[in-house]
Chains A and B, each alone.
Chain A
Amino acid sequence: MIKKIFSFTLILNLLIFSCSSDSDDNSSEVWEQKSEMLTNWADNFIIPSYTTLTNNLVLLEESGNTFASSRNQQNLENLRNSFINAYLSWQYVEMFDIGLAEETYYKSKMNIYPTTVSRIELNIQNGNTDFNNSNNYAAQGFPALDYLLYGIENSDELILSKFNNEPQYLIYLSNVINQMLQNTYPIVEDWQNYRNPFIGSVRNTATSSVNKMTNDFIYYYEKGFRANKFGIPAGVFSGGALPEKVEAFYNQNISKALALEGFQAIKNFYNGNGGVSLRQYISEVSTEEYSELSTDILDQFNIAENLINGLDENFYNQILTNNIKVLETYDAIQQGTILLKTDMLSVLQIPTDYVDADGD
């Protein structure tokens, strides 16, 4: 009899499942919208951002070569400009910690700051550097270039003479630039193949593109942007300000420009720039209570951006002279984190914790 009951129930289940497929109601809307969102992310955000970064890195390499062959003030300036351009375009890439980038710890190799000066000096003296060794993550990428181009001596004159007199610095400089390209090329190439599986991974699972990318976005907002660029140097996590932890510490004048660029990347990604992204998706699925959520988030972004605009170009100086303003800015960014991590996740029903365990 038990057997009969089981088979009866099975049939009942099947009946219900098949009935539902007959229902003529608007089919596959959610699926399509998520597909559209992923396509937009891949084609209008991820791949173009990588292309711009790669182009700027190639220019950086060229300026590096020019500088290596002729080490004068003019070429140093050119090299520095290429560095700044590449660093600005990096701000659009850092949040895409997915696919090969994630597997190869790309983000860590490109932008861990503050850079470990002692490690850089050690590598320079030893001559031979394994850039894939995790101990060297903080001795390469943009922060290492920042040190090499602005920080190895106190004045441009001394920096130039150091590069002239100690060729190992020049070698390390070109190795770091070369390594950044070597880190980037495979990922750019991989996206040619990865694009289709990426946009096809629409399901609501821990490893689907939608969920991973949304979590990457929140993670970048909370850690890469909020904590690294503001919270940590302003002393939010330490009790005392740590201005030497600002991004691009050795050329402090670009710290604000980098942060604003990073925020632009966040806003663009959220807004979708004409395509479907999180903003459209939130307003689509939100309930009555959340009808304002998608604009609330944007408003909060704008409040924070205004406060960032009010800061000194040089975050190091800003922290030393008036850290309260940085802390206020941090608080406004933090309000955005709350919206993203409670309301947005509640509406999107995307889990944050990937320690899988049963629920009830």
Chain B
Amino acid sequence: MNSKIKNYINSYTNASPLAVFRIGFGLMMLYSMIRFWNKGWINTLYIEPKFHFKYYGFEWVRELGDYTYLLFVLCIISSIFITIGYKYRLSIILFFLSFTYIELIDKTTYLNHYYFISILSFLMIFLPANAYFSIDNNFKKRSYKEIPKWSIDCIKLLLSIVYFYSGLAKINTDWLLNAMPLKLWLPSKYDLPLIGETFMQQEWVHYFMSWGGMLYDLSIPFLLLYKKTRIIGFVLVIFFHLFTGVLFPIGMFPYIMIVGSLIFFDYNVHLKIIKYIKKIVEPIKKYFKIEENIKDEKITIKNRRIVLSIISIFFVIQLFLPFRYLLYPSELFWSEEGYRFSWRVMLVEKIGYTTFKIKSKNSESYFYVNNEEFLTSFQEKQMSFQPDFILEYAHYLGDYYTSKGYGGVEVYAESYVSLNGRTNKRFINSEVDLYKKKESFKNKKWIIPIDDEIKGF
């Protein structure tokens, strides 16, 4: 092995940034989960729908009905344990499993930032985030001041990938040359105080924010990595995320990214934060008679070879997965083949209207399905412009009517989509019996090409 790499792998650094990250992550997740529960979304998104859209390969994931609440309880408890660093490894594994399971129940709710939480929590399973300033320290009577440098760097790397790739995705003709979809979105924010009627209505603002957003995403990782530009980078992080948080309904994402970006700071900053937290938790510590750290030493990572291999594979996948769309001949924004899991955030304005025609071999006649009978309005909206949803729903309808005694059921889609301010076009070939088409990673030939080119990443 190259000695530079060897040196790097063996180099150690102060453990506090990872400890602060663990606490921040735990608190953010705790709040996110309670917020989700409080908004009634567990019921409306996971329990109420009769039918759930599954990710390809995860059709086996069952909805849990009222037990979904237990899954959230598990998520909440593990978030608390992650925060305080109690049975960290078990907690982060449980968090990863329960959170990811929730996401797998229905892909209607897919968001890049949920995916980010899933893979981040997976990564954290392999990191010694409880080495310092955790309850585990007291139980094991061991606290570690130093942890391998890579264990902090890999979180920085993941955050950098998220920013950089979402910047790359913005380098396309719709975003930069037409200011789409911001040209549609921003004017609709006319109700914002002060800027709504003025800035948001200006075309130059739409272009400025398109270009600015692209440059911001591409440069943030570097601004945060270099010490000299770190503060300006962090100011930009706060400004940008709070601003987009005001503009768009993106929930907890801005706050998660702001807190997450703290990890780029030197450990001195984190030691101060820990000092501050210590002050706050002092009374609790006294009450529980928690002793201070017992031993200070460098942590040794168990099964280091395996851990490093897993993390390496993880990042290879992360680096290449977003480019899988290149394997498809179709227009990415239109057909969305290889669109998800690639940090394509807020890139398209897509509205679809899709209805299904059911034919039965037994009779000449056909009829249309009333989507409201089977889908929630949120599901219907998401289904209407995403081909894999359309196919899955077509199969559901096919199975449903077959079970109702219709013989030789055929399912056809009448689908129209408008993308980034283009007038609506027919989306799915209405001559194709979707019930006979199988989901796969292959190119979906029954999507009618958009007949327009969006150049770029």
Q: Is the CB of A290 within 8 A of B187?
A: no
Q: Is the CB of B269 within 8 A of A1?
A: yes
Q: Is the CB of B44 within 8 A of A355?
A: yes
Q: Is the CB of A360 within 8 A of B424?
A: no
| Cα–Cα, bound, A66→B57 (Å) | 71
Closest to A34 in B: B190
Tell which of A348, A354, A359 touches B249, judged by Cβ atoms closer than 8 Å. Answer: A359
Q: Is the CB of B421 within 8 A of A290?
A: yes
Complex interface: stretch among B92-100, B214-222, B374-382: B374-382
| Cα–Cα, bound, A332→B193 (Å) | 42
**Could you give, for residues 425-454 of chain B, a 1 whenever the CB lies within 8 Å of some chain A CB and a 0 otherwise?**
000000000000000000000000000000
Tell me the count of chain B residues lying within 8 A, CB to CB, of chain A.
69
| Cα–Cα, bound, A357→B109 (Å) | 8
**Could you give, for residues 329-360 of chain A, a 1 whenever the CB lies within 8 Å of some chain B CB and a 0 otherwise?**
00000000111011101111110111111111
A-contacting residues, B327-382, CB 8 Å: 345-346, 349, 351-353, 358, 360, 363, 365-370, 376-378, 380-381
| Cα–Cα, bound, A342→B187 (Å) | 18
Q: Is the CB of A204 within 8 A of B189?
A: yes
B71 at the interface (CB under 8 A from A): no
| Cα–Cα, bound, A356→B45 (Å) | 10
B197 at the interface (CB under 8 A from A): yes
A200 at the interface (CB under 8 A from B): no
**Could you give, for residues 259-293 of chain A, a 1 whenever the CB lies within 8 Å of some chain B CB and a 0 otherwise?**
00000000000000000000000000101011001
| Cα–Cα, bound, A289→B418 (Å) | 11
**Could you give, for residues 285-325 of chain A, a 1 whenever the CB lies within 8 Å of some chain B CB and a 0 otherwise?**
10101100100000000000000000000000000000000
**Could you give, for residues 170-200 of chain B, a 1 whenever the CB lies within 8 Å of some chain A CB and a 0 otherwise?**
0000000000000111011111011111110
Contacts of A290 in B (CB 8 A): 421, 423
Q: Is the CB of B198 within 8 A of A360?
A: no
Q: Is the CB of A236 within 8 A of B367?
A: yes
Q: Within the complex, what minimum Cβ distance (angstroms) separates B106 from chain A?
A: 11
| CB-CB under 8 A for A349 and B187, given A2-B269, A239-B365 | yes
Closest to B385 in A: A342
B234 at the interface (CB under 8 A from A): yes
| CB-CB under 8 A for A239 and B367, given A2-B273, A13-B243, A360-B346 | yes
Q: Within the complex, what minimum Cβ distance (angstroms) separates A350 from chain B?
A: 8
Q: Within the complex, what minimum Cβ distance (angstroms) separates A322 from chain B?
A: 15
B90 at the interface (CB under 8 A from A): no
Q: Is the CB of A287 within 8 A of B197?
A: no
Q: Is the CB of B351 within 8 A of A287?
A: no
| CB-CB under 8 A for A360 and B185, given A237-B370, A342-B418 | no
B238 at the interface (CB under 8 A from A): yes
Q: Within the complex, what minimum Cβ distance (angstroms) separates B53 from chain A?
A: 14
B417 at the interface (CB under 8 A from A): yes
B111 at the interface (CB under 8 A from A): yes
A118 at the interface (CB under 8 A from B): no
| Chain B interface, DSSP helix/strand/loop, else mixed | mixed
| CB-CB under 8 A for A237 and B367, given A5-B231, A357-B41 | yes
Contacts of A6 in B (CB 8 A): 238
Tell which of A20, A27, A235, A289 touches B421, judged by Cβ atoms closer than 8 Å. Answer: A289
Contacts of A357 in B (CB 8 A): 41, 44-45, 109, 378
Q: Within the complex, what minimum Cβ distance (angstroms) separates B409 from chain A?
A: 12
| Cα–Cα, bound, A337→B371 (Å) | 15
Q: Is the CB of B416 within 8 A of A342?
A: yes
Contacts of A12 in B (CB 8 A): 235, 239
Q: Is the CB of B251 within 8 A of A346?
A: no
A-contacting residues, B377-395, CB 8 Å: 377-378, 380-381
Q: Within the complex, what minimum Cβ distance (angstroms) separates A21 from chain B?
A: 4
**Could you give, for residues 217-233 of chain A, a 1 whenever the CB lies within 8 Å of some chain B CB and a 0 otherwise?**
00000000001000100
Q: Within the complex, what minimum Cβ distance (angstroms) separates B5 from chain A?
A: 33
| CB-CB under 8 A for A349 and B184, given A237-B367, A342-B418, A343-B424 | yes
Tell which of B190, B363, B381, B421 touches A352, judged by Cβ atoms closer than 8 Å. Answer: B381
| Cα–Cα, bound, A214→B341 (Å) | 34
Q: Within the complex, what minimum Cβ distance (angstroms) separates A61 from chain B?
A: 36
Most chain-A CB neighbours within 10 Å: which of B262, B352, B378?
A: B378
| CB-CB under 8 A for A5 and B238, given A238-B367, A358-B251, A360-B112 | yes
Q: Is the CB of A204 within 8 A of B191?
A: yes
| Cα–Cα, bound, A236→B355 (Å) | 12
Q: Is the CB of B423 within 8 A of A293?
A: yes
| CB-CB under 8 A for A355 and B248, given A27-B198, A236-B367 | no
A23 at the interface (CB under 8 A from B): yes
| Cα–Cα, bound, A122→B41 (Å) | 42
Contacts of B252 in A (CB 8 A): 358
B250 at the interface (CB under 8 A from A): yes
Q: Within the complex, what minimum Cβ distance (angstroms) separates A360 from chain B?
A: 4
Q: Is the CB of A28 within 8 A of B365?
A: no
Q: Is the CB of B365 within 8 A of A20?
A: no
Tell which of A343, A354, A359 touches B377, judged by Cβ atoms closer than 8 Å. Answer: A354
The 5 closest A-B pairs by CB, nearest first: A358-B251, A349-B188, A30-B190, A355-B378, A203-B191
Q: Can you pick out 16 interface pairs between chain A and chain B where the beta carbons lie within 8 Å of each other? A: A1-B269, A9-B238, A17-B193, A25-B201, A27-B197, A204-B188, A235-B365, A287-B183, A293-B423, A342-B417, A342-B424, A343-B423, A345-B351, A346-B184, A355-B376, A359-B251
Binding site for B on A (CB under 8 A): 1-2, 5-6, 8-9, 12-13, 16-18, 20-21, 23, 25-31, 34, 202-205, 227, 231, 235-240, 285, 287, 289-290, 293, 337-339, 341-343, 345-350, 352-360
With contacts A23-B198, A204-B188 known, what are 10 further pairs, Cβ within 8 A? Answer: A236-B368, A237-B367, A339-B424, A342-B416, A352-B377, A355-B45, A357-B41, A358-B251, A359-B251, A360-B253
